Structure 1
Amino acid sequence: MNINELRPHIKSRIAHEFGTAFLDELDFSVKNKMLEKDAYVHANYSSAELAKQESPKYEPGLLMDSLLSAATTTGHLAQVQDTKPKGHQFVQMITRNCHVVIMRKDSSNTKNAKFYVEQSLSNLGLVKGNQNDLLIQAILAEDVEFDDLLFVCVTSYWNTDFQLLDIDFIVPHPLENIPIFTFSLAELKKSASEPMTDVAEEPILAIKKRLEEVDIRPLASGE
């Protein structure tokens, strides 16, 4: 199975782990929090230009808070935690079938995680007899084994008036510091309303094995 054939199955699994209720609530929560944020910032600045400069600084925290709010509102166990070393927040969410870690795409801890720069160099195969996911060590810094961890980065897009256009979920490759798939919120909502694909129903460990084996040379070369 090549990378293009694998994409809809990964999308289906993520969409169904999140669920329609979570995705709808996230859409609603982000838009409302951003509107409240703009009103708050503009009410506290006499200068419209200064308000416009300060407003984006609130967005990372509000995005994480929206993820947490959407998760707890729709029945998922979730909490916001700091990366190790501290500096950026992520949401750890427990769905019916797996643990999900959601971080911001622009987090320096994501880009420079020990997972990428050290541990991956000595890791000859992501999936072993009993997998100790390296992201646990790099991001969570916990000596526990999760065979069911999904790792997702999230980013948001705005127009020139700072109106939310979309939210993207990015799946990084297990062993390479590159995004392997990107799914918009709209894509995931549509996929969540459809039956889960056969490959998407496989155990997380089996899906990660497929990710490890897929040819990522076109991604690495920018094709």
Structure 2
Amino acid sequence: MNFIDLDYVKEIYKPRELESYKGDFGHTLILCGSSGMVGAGFFASMGAVKSGSGLTTLGTYRETFDIFSIKLNEVMLLNLDEINILDNLERFSCIVFGSGFGINQKNEHLLKELLSNFPKPIVVDADGLTMLSKNNNLDFLKNRTYPTILTPHYGEFSRLTNLDIEYIKVNRVAIAKEFAQKYNCILLLKDHKTLITNGEN
């Protein structure tokens, strides 16, 4: 195992060129947050901003659009009831999907389309993981050629694997590696010592 500590971070950290601007550092699309769960969209968006995304856009539905307009000063907004996001993906470098986004047929269809057709990295969290655990949706991951990062806690990983939580805890390294290999993804299994694996490392 490799451990993410200060020395590791120093090794991979790349200072930014002084002659640069926000467009040099990617454009993250956040599909998170819904009525009663605006905090999820807020924190996901600010996480992207604070970790270095040059541009960040939150896609939200009409019911929360005005709330996010007031709450997010640094983040651009798209009203998902007014545009077809699937026709407007070319400008984005990566997508974060699922935190508090709501579990429904419309969002499940959107997730399937993104996994099938978005040729760039996708992070799937929370409600997105719950939707992946239904109806063999995990199979959508197998043919992706760009990184797909899943970020479950033990309860969500139990639903994804149909394994008991206590069994996962005892065997988490082997199960996580096997899952990541099988479904062609990077798995970030949350714990007090979070485990990250691509099935090999």
TM-score w.r.t. length of structure 1: 0.31
Is the helix fraction higher in 1 or 2?
Answer: 1
TM-score w.r.t. length of structure 2: 0.33
Q: Which protein shows a greater Rg?
A: 1
Q: RCO greater where, 1 or 2, for CA within 8 Å and sep 6 or more?
A: 1
